[in-house]
Structure 1
Amino acid sequence: MGVTLKQVIKNLDAFPRAEEHLLHKTQSGALVSVIGIVIMATLFLHELGYYLSTYTVHQMSVDLKRGENLPIHINMTFPSLPCDVLSVDAIDMSGKHEVDLDTNIWKLRLNSYGHIIGTEYISDLVEKEHTHHKHDHDKDHHEDSEQKIHLQTLDESTENTIKKVKQALTDGEGCRVYGTLDVQRVAGNFHISVHGLNIYVAQMIFGGAKNVNVSHIIHDLSFGPEYPGIHNPLDDTTRILHDTSGTFKYYIKVVPTEYRYISKEVVPTNQFSVTEYFSPMKDHDRTWPAVYFLYDLSPITVTIKEERRSFLHFITRLCAVLGGTFAVTGMLDRWMYRLMETITEPKAKTSVSR
């Protein structure tokens, strides 16, 4: 009974072994074996890298965040406007100026070659002495203010400012604006313009709105930290005007986003899409050129999760790849052996007959 059981177990062996003296090693077999080992090692490393790499899964849900702030990272250059005339202003949909929030905005003076020649820190988004004039560029107020200011005499500091800015314009000075605006998480806009100047001073400097060149380069504009694969559509955007002026408007749809790393770390940020519009200056326009960024928030939040393939999936693919390579190299070895036999047998018969 024991002998029979052993025999049954032996019959289940899927890998029968030939006697040692029946095995015949050839040079072609060695060559195929080396090629097979190289292929299997390459495929193993490929599968290992595939297993260790991560992929992302996107999920959407309703955005339930309330009471949080929205960080706006700005890095822009205005090659044709000095820093003294540029102002940064932000306003939300309720009409409230964002002057009570902490901001980190710097203005860097640039010479005509683009090199930094000075730095200025902006503590508030609306300069105190110009708060009243900042958004009063509609027709009625424009006319009233101009009539009143014409009646006033320019003080010495204002005259010095005008001379300084005119000299900067003659020297070809530009300005780089960069930093972070921390605004409320509601729809709103921010813009960079010469609206910080009162109208009469602006008229004295530029000689008219048509001479205000708001050409700009957007190096970076984002609404939160970066994450792998993010694309900010306005990065490296260049808009240069020649012999014309006008107002640029960028309509931005902000999509709240969470990126979850494989380590469970969560990065709250935002993606956005943008539509651009340019309105050239006309003779009857009372407004002054500016660059507006009008943003709105999507009610949908996107969650991007990093995930890794299962270990069982890795083992399954590995067995398939290595087993398939072994089978193919075995077939190739048999074919080469038979080919060599076919070539050598006629030679052997010819030598025997002689």
Structure 2
Amino acid sequence: MGRIPSLKNFNAFPHAEDHLLKKTYSGAIVTILGLIVMVTLFAHELTFYLTTYTMHQMSVDLKRGETLPIHINVSFPSLPCEVLSVDAIDMSGKHEVDLHTNIWKLRLDKYGHIIGTEYLSDLVEKEHGTHDHDHGHEHDVEKKPEHTFNEDADKMIKSVKLAMENGEGCRVYGALDVQRVAGNFHISVHGLNIFVANQIFDGSSHVNVSHVIHRLSFGPEYPGIHNPLDDTSRILHDTSGTFKYYIKVVPTEYRYLSKGVLPTNQFSVTEYFVPIRPTDRSWPAVYFLYDLSPITVTIREERRNFLHFITRLCAVLGGTFAMTGMLDRWMYRIIESISSSKPRSGMR
């Protein structure tokens, strides 16, 4: 029993002085303020703990034999759907006609409302190789000029001119899967016979490829992704030319907290515009030229450690409690000093 009194020296919670146990209005106010601060900080720390954050990791891309999904949604307010075609070519020069596609052309009136649809079962329009307008492909097929038009061609010319007079436009919407190699896809009037195109537009300099990119992505979206070409508007006035978007695709894996994995792609882009000159033999178009990065990015969702949360919570609440006690003592002493400084009644 002789050792028991010495244990008092290790008591970290000595009894408070008598004046500190006295209940006052100032103490009640400080207590209420302290409780409000502690509840606020507790809610903040709990939200901070429950909120997930992401970790980024880079490694060499080892994927093989997969396709690259491309989701497009582009409007052409000055070109009817009858003159537009979609074409995709990989780096070997192969037309991607054997891959799965799901592309629609939506006819738009001058107010942007949909007035008709057309499904493209093939990326390359029929007989594409025999009437390509780009001089870079002229070596593909020997072409014989045809200066006469049959009844179908005349009917098409009249139909397109009427649509252009009515301010009709077109939206190209859908998805396509291409080989996982560098390549390009473009939207243009290259599917038209060159003489039909001349009859419609009176030369390449009058082809207005103004467009609005509502969405362009290379795979499904994950939380926080940013597609730099979304909601991009390029409107031409009294000029014509070819738009080229050079895209660097970065393979990406998004790993959810639930261990689910979402394979997708990010990309960066550089834009270039080439005006049409009278001597040019090419026709205006909108090109999307893409290349794949050899590096893949893994984005992993993480949650903060529970022990870290408890440590921060104890520090915040304990610190608030200690500051509240100090404030209570300070206010009590001020009030006491003011009370003692007042002259007592009956004294001179």
- TM-score in terms of structure 2 length: 0.95
Work out the CA distance in 2 between the residues paired with 1:144 and 1:280: 28
Match of 1:75 in 2: 73
Match of 1:129 in 2: 127
Within the candidate set 157, 165, 170, 2:165 is matched to: 170
Work out the CA distance in 1 between the residues paired with 2:141 and 2:47: 69
8 Å Cα contact 1:256-1:270 kept in structure 2: yes
Match of 1:286 in 2: 281
Aligned residues: 348
Work out the CA distance in 2 between the residues paired with 1:22 and 1:126: 87
8 Å Cα contact 1:138-1:286 kept in structure 2: no
* 3-state SS, counterpart of residue 353 of structure 1: coil
Q: Structure 2 counterpart of 1:206, which letter? A: F
Work out the CA distance in 2 between the residues paired with 1:315 and 1:254: 42
Matched, 1:55 2:53: yes
* 3-state SS, counterpart of residue 127 of structure 2: helix
Within the candidate set 22, 27, 30, 1:24 is matched to: 22
Match of 1:351 in 2: 345
Work out the CA distance in 2 between the residues paired with 1:171 and 1:328: 75
Matched, 1:299 2:300: no
Cα shift readout 1:101-159 (whole Å, capped 9, x = no counterpart): 111111110011111110111110012233432466349669974x5212xx3221111
Deviates more, 1:155-164 or 1:242-251: 155-164
Deviates more, 1:21-30 or 1:224-233: 21-30
Q: How does 1:94-109 map to 2 (within 5 A)?
A: 94-109=92-107
8 Å Cα contact 2:133-2:283 kept in structure 1: no
Q: From the superposition, tell whether residues 51 and 142 of structure 1 become closer, same or farther in structure 2 (CA, over 3 Å).
A: closer
Within the candidate set 330, 341, 348, 1:335 is matched to: 330
* 3-state SS, counterpart of residue 4 of structure 1: coil
Q: Structure 2 counterpart of 1:61, which letter? A: S
Work out the CA distance in 2 between the residues paired with 1:185 and 1:35: 62
Q: Which has the higher helix share?
A: 1
Cα shift readout 1:210-233 (whole Å, capped 9, x = no counterpart): 110000000100001111111111
CA apart distance, 1:17: 2.8
Q: Structure 2 counterpart of 1:67, which letter? A: G
* 3-state SS, counterpart of residue 331 of structure 2: helix
Within the candidate set 145, 149, 154, 2:146 is matched to: 149
8 Å Cα contact 2:134-2:281 kept in structure 1: no
Identity of aligned residues (%): 74
Work out the CA distance in 1 between the residues paired with 2:71 and 2:119: 15
8 Å Cα contact 2:129-2:141 kept in structure 1: no
Q: Structure 2 counterpart of 1:194, which letter? A: V
Work out the CA distance in 1 between the residues paired with 2:279 and 2:133: 19
CA apart distance, 1:20: 7.8
Within the candidate set 87, 90, 96, 1:89 is matched to: 87
Match of 1:236 in 2: 231
Work out the CA distance in 2 between the residues paired with 1:210 and 1:222: 30
Work out the CA distance in 1 between the residues paired with 2:285 and 2:134: 14
Cα shift readout 1:167-193 (whole Å, capped 9, x = no counterpart): 001111000111001101000000000
Q: Structure 1 counterpart of 2:66, which letter? A: E
Q: From the superposition, tell whether residues 296 and 211 of structure 1 become closer, same or farther in structure 2 (CA, over 3 Å).
A: same
- TM-score in terms of structure 1 length: 0.94
Q: Structure 2 counterpart of 1:91, which letter? A: I
Match of 1:191 in 2: 186
CA apart distance, 1:55: 1.1
Match of 1:322 in 2: 317
Q: From the superposition, tell whether residues 6 and 251 of structure 1 become closer, same or farther in structure 2 (CA, over 3 Å).
A: same
After superposition, the CA RMSD in angstroms is: 1.9
8 Å Cα contact 1:136-1:142 kept in structure 2: no
8 Å Cα contact 1:219-1:237 kept in structure 2: yes
Match of 2:206 in 1: 211
8 Å Cα contact 1:142-1:199 kept in structure 2: no
Q: Which runs of 5+ in 1 are unaligned?
A: none
Work out the CA distance in 1 between the residues paired with 2:331 and 2:307: 36
Within the candidate set 179, 186, 197, 2:174 is matched to: 179
Q: Which runs of 5+ in 2 are unaligned?
A: none
Q: From the superposition, tell whether residues 96 and 154 of structure 1 become closer, same or farther in structure 2 (CA, over 3 Å).
A: same
8 Å Cα contact 2:105-2:173 kept in structure 1: yes
Work out the CA distance in 1 between the residues paired with 2:177 and 2:16: 78
* 3-state SS, counterpart of residue 344 of structure 2: helix
Match of 1:276 in 2: 271
Work out the CA distance in 1 between the residues paired with 2:132 and 2:121: 16
Work out the CA distance in 1 between the residues paired with 2:161 and 2:142: 26
CA apart distance, 1:23: 2.5
* 3-state SS, counterpart of residue 145 of structure 2: helix
